[in-house]
């Protein structure tokens, strides 16, 4: 039996290296990686996961070549054209997290349409982080809170729960399990607040190689973990 795991976040890393190892351009890795989002979303839903939050493009990824960035910006259109109907049939709700207004207009439209079309669904929450960076998220939250205090809309005695309402993830529960693919062991500015008590797993497989079997193995490992949240286990 797998332990219940409500919210899984994944840093989908290693597309570029995977493609290069096959003598292909980095963009080929991103295309296969996008297809794998569908495979892993289905696997998540079948394993009873309610929230799957995927890191697709960070606030730091603008540093990449213009060719690579513009290809990634076109991927949502390719992806949702192929799979949106299936996601709707499966009852998935799409949420896009990040500063969307900095993306090309056409990309914004595709992402907003995906959210709008699926907003009444109650199945898997498929959260895709686009132009997301956690430090920026916390900074924007702090700015908004300061404005609300100034305007008399918030008190000074804000607590953790109150602050979470200012985050881009306000509608979602805390992360239970964070997985990063491709052997890197760092967080890269992802969900810093939300992973406060998440279990962390770093797997060697690159994102295109991250199969439902590897995912299942991660959940088995999670099942073995003793989540104490600062307390002590009853013996």
List, in order, residues 6 or more apart from 125 with CB less than 8 Å away: 50, 51, 52, 92, 93, 95, 172
Active site residue 61: yes
Burial status of residue 47 (CB atoms within 10 A of its CB: 0-12, 13-18, 19 or more): middle
Tokens of 120: 């009444």
| Binding partner of 125, given ligand IPE, Mg ion, none, CB within 5-8 angstroms per partner class | none
Give the CA distances from residue 210 to residues 13, 70, 150, in Å, rounded to whole numbers and listed in that order: 10, 25, 47
Q: Of residues 7, 13, 26, 30, which one binds Mg ion by CB under 5 A? A: 13
The footprint of ligand IPE on residues 54-83 (CB under 6 A) is 55-58, 60-61, 72
The stretch among 6-14, 115-123, 153-161, 190-198 that binds Mg ion (CB under 5 A) is 6-14
Distance in Å, CB of 4 to ligand IPE, minimum = 26
Tell me the number of residues near ligand IPE by CB under 6 A: 18
Cβ-closest position to ligand IPE: 16
Taking CB under 6 A as the rule, does residue 216 contact ligand IPE?
no
End-to-end CA distance of the chain: 21
Taking CB under 6 A as the rule, does residue 186 contact ligand IPE?
yes
| Binding partner of 15, given Mg ion, ligand IPE, none, CB within 5-8 angstroms per partner class | ligand IPE
The active-site residue, picked from 13, 125, 127, 131, is 13
Contact criterion met (CB below 8 Å) for 58 and 189: yes
Strand (E) or helix (H) holding 24:
none
Question: Which residues are known to be catalytic?
Answer: 13, 61
């Amino acid at each position: 039996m797998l332990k219940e795991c409500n919210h899984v976040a994944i840093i989908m890393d290693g597309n570029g290296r995977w493609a290069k190892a096959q003598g292909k351009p980095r963009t080929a890795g991103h295309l296969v990686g996008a297809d794998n989002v569908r495979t892993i979303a289905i696997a998540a839903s079948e394993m009873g996961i309610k929230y799957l939050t995927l890191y697709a493009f960070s606030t730091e990824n603008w540093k990449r070549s213009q060719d690579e960035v513009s290809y990634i910006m076109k991927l949502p259109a390719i992806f949702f054209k192929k799979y949106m109907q299936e996601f709707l049939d499966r009852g998935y709700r799409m949420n896009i997290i990040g500063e969307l207004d900095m993306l090309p207009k056409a990309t914004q439209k595709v992402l907003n349409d995906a959210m709008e079309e699926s907003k009444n669904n109650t199945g898997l929450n498929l959260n895709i982080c686009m132009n997301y960076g956690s430090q920026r998220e916390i900074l924007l939250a702090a700015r908004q809170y300061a404005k609300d205090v100034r305007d008399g809309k918030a008190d000074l005695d804000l607590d953790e729960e109150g602050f979470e309402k200012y985050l881009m993830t306000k509608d979602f529960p805390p992360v239970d399990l964070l997985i990063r693919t491709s052997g890197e062991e760092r967080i890269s500015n992802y969900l810093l607040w939300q992973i406060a008590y998440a279990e962390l797993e770093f797997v060697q497989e690159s994102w295109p190689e991250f199969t439902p079997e590897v995912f299942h193995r991660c959940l088995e490992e999670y099942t073995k973990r003793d989540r104490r949240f600062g307390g002590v286990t009853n013996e």
